[in-house]
Amino acid sequence: MKTQGETILGYAFESHNFRTARGAAKSAGFVPKIRHPGPGVYSIVRQAPGESPSLIDAVAYQPPFATLNDAAHSIGYFDVDADADGEIRTQMTVIKFDDKYCVPMFLAVADAYAGDAPMTLGLDPNGVFSAMSIAGVRIPVEFDGRMLVNFRRGADPFPYYSVSDIINHLVAPEKLAGKIVLVGATAHGLGDRGVTPVNPDMPRVEIHANANRQYHAGRLHPASAGKPARSRSSRRSCLDL
């Protein structure tokens, strides 16, 4: 993996003030301070005059195993937060942890694909202002950094391949060559699934795929960047028609 040099690993945050409540009990493997090599963070943070904004934050994270962490290109968080009604409509594009502004896995992947271009975050006392950007692509978000996901519709929105088939060379190399490949659990018994506007039982890896595709397709939905948050009941889903 280290020789290949292009693998992005995911990690999880624990205690936080995300909108979905979680227990405060500590879990094995979570640490309160960043360990080297640490999570992917915004390389340029522009802070407007005034008080620091109150953003989504976390108090502990679970870094990958040290051997994998050392070999990875970078790591990004894979936390996905649901709305109050249990439906996932957005991706958190920034979480503050240990005085750093961490990036999600889908943006860490996009940045690696762009050749490790500068990732810019702009802040003012009201939160994330205007938009953040990676490699010159602006990402409009709400004041707390949430991006409305433009979900792709259809029975097979993304190609899926079994990991065992890839390991056993049963997938033609050209199927994966030059592509962004996300590895995640899809079996129902593993429970790593979520409710979305287009699928009530979507594998969470596909949620990340939708967010990543949205960045690369330039179809970023202008939610309410720089404006007060709307109520959850008033937010409309953004679908790929």
Please, are residues 39 and 97 in contact by the beta-carbon 8 Å criterion? yes
Q: How far apart are CA 104 and CA 47, in angstroms?
A: 20
CA angle in degrees (0–180, nearest 5) for 1-160-65: 30
For 158-182, what is the mean pLDDT? 94
Q: pTM (2 decimals)? A: 0.84
Quick check: helix, strand or coil at residue 216?
helix
Assigned token pair, 96: 């503050």
Which range is least confidently modeled, 5-9, 56-60, 196-200, 229-233? Answer: 229-233
**Stronger pLDDT, 1 or 19, i.e. the higher one:** 1
Q: Which residue has the tokens 């594009």?
A: 93
For 199-218, what is the mean pLDDT? 91
Q: What is the pLDDT of residues 114-160, one digit of tens each?
A: 899 999 999 988 888 756 788 878 888 898 999 999 999 887 899 99
236, with CB counted inside 10 A (0-12, 13-18, 19+), is exposed
Q: What is the pLDDT of residues 100-111, one digit of tens each?
A: 999 999 999 999
Q: How far apart are CA 150 and CA 148, in angstroms?
A: 7
Q: What is the pLDDT of residues 38-90, one digit of tens each?
A: 999 999 999 888 888 888 999 999 999 999 999 999 999 999 999 999 999 99
